């Protein structure tokens, strides 16, 4: 999995799955500075309600 692709998919669908959130949490130590910024942005979008935790159909 790639954080950039995950970020764009979540942004376009408005949904992130719990499995994807688990992957982000487990791999955050290996992120580059750019990926860290994307992960922080993803978290802010979740906090703001623009992306929801759920499932894609």
pLDDT tens for 9-42 read 999 999 999 999 999 999 999 999 999 999 999 9
Contact indicator for 35, 4 with CB cutoff of 8 Å: yes
pLDDT computed for residue 5 by the predictor: 95
Residue 56: pLDDT band with limits 50, 70, 90: confident
50: enclosing H helix or E strand: none
6: enclosing H helix or E strand: helix 3-13
pLDDT computed for residue 1 by the predictor: 78
pLDDT computed for residue 25 by the predictor: 95
Predicted TM-score of the model (pTM): 0.86
Q: Which of 42, 34, 30 is nearest to 6 (CA)?
A: 42
């Amino acid at each position: 999995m790639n954080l950039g692709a995950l970020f764009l998919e979540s942004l376009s669908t408005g949904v992130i799955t719990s499995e994807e959130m688990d992957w982000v949490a487990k791999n955050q130590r290996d992120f580059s500075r750019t990926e860290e910024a994307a992960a922080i942005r993803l978290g802010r979008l979740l906090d703001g309600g623009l992306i929801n935790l759920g499932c894609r159909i």
